[in-house]
Structure 1
Amino acid sequence: MVSAAGLCCKPLSDVLAVDYGGPSLATNVIPSHFSGDREAAVVLDVACGSGLVAKQMEEEGFKQILGVDGSEAMLQMSRKTGLYKELKRCLLGEEPMPVHWGLFDVVVIVGALSVGHVPVNVVRELFNFHATKNGGYIYMTTRDSFDNAEFKYALETELKQMEEEDLWTCVEVTEKEWIKVMPEQDYNYTTGIVYLYKKI
């Protein structure tokens, strides 16, 4: 089985082979709800990897993109895209985020919220108290697979708890085809859950 969280560091040919849908789903969901000036909006791409999300966001008109990732090798790949205004290294969940709090109109984390990668507690640290502006959007994804079931439950419990605390409102939750489990089979996909919240 292919892990979506590991695709950010793979060659583009590998990503295309498994038809990884995470980055493109961000551009399908966010622009349909974001009504502000896209060129002026400041976007934080968390666990930015090789820049797949930034590429999709830039094509939708978002120009002010900052990235954070725990791997220097990934940051080097992101730099080569020329899409980021700034890139910072940070081990998410272990180190304080090296960003200007309250700056971001949109915060995106695609493919990293899953078992063995970015921990659930990063959601509250990043998206609620600090990084996102009031009225800003937070876009997250996770895999809907057996090996990720416990993580998904913990994540959704935290998202719901934050909603009950009136910290944000749920805008959209959808299930999408995410990634080919076996690339040689056109029909065999695992699914992913897409979450979009708006900070109050």
Structure 2
Amino acid sequence: MEDVTTLIQSFRPVNGYDPPQAMKLYEHWAETYEQDCTMMNYRAPQLAADFLSEHFSGNPEEALVLDVACGSGWVAKEMAELGFKNFEGVDGSQGMLDLAAKTDLYKDLRLALLGPEPLPAQPGVFDVVIIVGALYAGFVPVSVVRELCNAAKPGGFIVMMRANHRGEPNAKYTEDLKRELQLMEEEGLWTPVGTKQVDRYMEFPHLDTKGAEDPQDLLIGGTVYLYKKSMQ
């Protein structure tokens, strides 16, 4: 666990995005990813799935879901518990896709480095497009949000869950994301359904706390955004 925490902390993109470096992190981490994240009380997949379920009015068994940055398949497993059955997944790490395949939940899995490569998904067909954890400086650029919306069918849902990481460049990323979300709303591409702030997105219980001014510094909050694509 300490080695993984050090690995995560060592990834601090300073100048722009570095998706290849990010994927090296996950290739190294893949085999113990869920075990380590469970120890860090990583709750994002469950929080995102629950928030969607609260607002989803259709039949989840018939819904086609695109799981973007699907990782090990954790989000799909949480959604399956809520009745969703039809998943396609995209991720930039082959190691993570291999784990996702073992869940037997996905009809299709595709390898793509989002940002440098376009989202490999048919436009306008998905009832739900969901991305959890990857909208973060150094990983998936803000520009990909438009691709998420494009993949959803008219009236479909777009779910985005991200950590409220502190400091730069994450503060700038957050401002850029908020600006893009608002601009897409003004352009009539989608309408907001709801936004929820959570205090415990994840935590680092095994870190040395001597340097922390407040134990709360070890907690990371998060935000889940839910939009509905316009019918136009």
TM-score between both structures, scaled by the size of structure 2: 0.79
Q: How many residues align?
A: 197
Question: Unaligned stretches of 5+ in structure 1?
Answer: none
Larger radius of gyration: 2
- 8 Å contact kept, 2:34–2:72: no
1:84 is aligned, of 99, 106, 113, to: 106
**Per-residue CA distance 1:133-184 (angstroms, 9 max, x = gap):** 1110000022212232111111111001111111111111111121103446
Map of 1:120-131 to 2, 5 A cutoff? 120-127=142-149, 130-131=150-151
3-state secondary structure, aligned to 2:136: coil
Identity %: 47
Provide the rounded CA distance (Å) in 2 between the counterparts of 1:97 and 1:15.
26
1:16 is aligned, of 22, 27, 38, to: 38
Shift of 1:96: 2.3
3-state secondary structure, aligned to 2:102: helix
- 8 Å contact kept, 2:129–2:158: yes
2:227 aligned residue: 197
- 8 Å contact kept, 2:91–2:113: yes
- In the superposition, relative to structure 1, how do residues 76 and 162 fare at CA in structure 2: closer, same or farther (>3 Å)? same
Question: Unaligned stretches of 5+ in structure 2?
Answer: 10-21, 210-214
3-state secondary structure, aligned to 2:106: coil
- Corresponding letter in the other structure for 2:93: S
**Per-residue CA distance 1:43-101 (angstroms, 9 max, x = gap):** 00000001110100111100001000111111111101111111011111122222221
Provide the rounded CA distance (Å) in 2 between the counterparts of 1:35 and 1:80.
29
Aligned-residue RMSD, C-alpha = 2.0
1:155 is aligned, of 166, 169, 177, to: 177
- 8 Å contact kept, 1:143–1:152: no
